[in-house]
Amino acid sequence: MLATLPIPILLALLAQAEPAPAEPSAQPQAEATPAPAAEPAAGAEPAPEPPPATPAPPEPEPQQAQAGLSQPEPRMMFGFCAGADFQLSGDVSPKVGYSISPLFQYDYLRLADRLALGLRAEFTFDRFQKLVTAQADMGGGQFQSYRTTRSLTYFDFALLATATLHLGRVQPWAAAGAGLALGNFDSAEAAYQPGDFRTTSPLVLGAGGLDVAVGRGALVGLHVEYRGLLAQPSSLLASGQRINVFGDRLSVQAGLLYQF
């Protein structure tokens, strides 16, 4: 039957029998694009910039370094004292004189931050003097009166052990020690001829006082000191009489001192 159909009709039937071409697939989805950043509204202030980073605070210094800033306890002291001196024994007047004492002290031990033990070197000059009348031999049995001075002086050196109690600004103290005294008596009076006597005698001392701090390292104080001669030799006068020229003394002094 197909053979009998005309060729044009056959070609038309074959064309209808072929499958229809596939339709083109849907267009690929549009690639996502980032949305444009929103511009700031007109007149709006820009966001503030973050503050700059501040450096970390320095670490605290160790306690040992801080403790080093504190001042060490003073261990040395020097000073100058002056005041009245009183003769407690002896046969020669006057009984009241003056005393001058430079000193140096070193504290070698501090107990419980209150009690300081130390050593003190002390030099003392004491002088007693009196205006008297003497007779000058003019020859031919004639004498002329004139005014002169009767004097008694001491040069003392002593080493003392000290104990000082530190109570804030107030520092009471006590001391005891020994030393050497050099004494000299001079008078032109006929009653004391030959008028020149000297002695060198061992010395014992006892002292005490109260010092008060008034500034950075500076102190003022009131000191009382007893000095006793272990040997008190008598002196022979031209008349054959023996007297005790040199004796014990008591000093009351005001002091100006400095600690460091």
Instruction: Assess whether the previous peptide bond of 94 is cis (omega < 30° from 0).
Output: yes
**How far apart (Å, rounded) are the C-alpha atoms in residues 152 and 183?**
7
Per-residue confidence at 143, pLDDT binned at 50, 70, 90?
Answer: confident
* Nearest CA-CA partner of 249 in 123, 160, 119, 153: 153
Q: Is the pLDDT of residue 255 over 70?
A: yes
- What is the reported pLDDT for 1? 47
% of the chain with per-residue pLDDT over 90: 61
Q: What is the pLDDT of residues 18-31, one digit of tens each?
A: 555 555 444 444 44
Q: What is the pLDDT of residues 82-133, one digit of tens each?
A: 999 999 998 999 999 999 999 999 999 999 889 999 999 999 999 999 999 9
Judge whether 136 and 124 are in contact, CB under 8 Å. no
Q: Is the pLDDT of residue 17 over 80?
A: no
- 199-205-209 Cα angle (round to 5): 135
* Nearest CA-CA partner of 221 in 207, 232, 233, 238: 207
Environment class of residue 249 by beta-carbon count within 10 Å: exposed (0-12), middle (13-18) or buried (19+)? Answer: buried
Q: Is the model more confident about 16 or about 214?
A: 214
Q: Is the pLDDT of residue 71 over 70?
A: no
Q: Following CA atoms 234, 240, 241, 246 in sequence, which dihedral angle do they give, to the nearest 10 degrees?
A: -30
Q: What is the pLDDT of residues 230-248, one digit of tens each?
A: 988 889 999 899 999 999 9
Topology of the domain covering 80-131+150-259: Porin (2.40.160)
Q: Where are the domains of the chain?
A: 80-131+150-259
* Nearest CA-CA partner of 111 in 161, 72, 177, 165: 165
Q: What is the pLDDT of residues 211-223, one digit of tens each?
A: 999 988 999 999 9
Q: Is the pLDDT of residue 195 over 60?
A: yes
Single pTM value for the model: 0.70
Q: Is the pLDDT of residue 187 over 80?
A: yes
Question: What mean pLDDT is reported for the chain?
Answer: 83
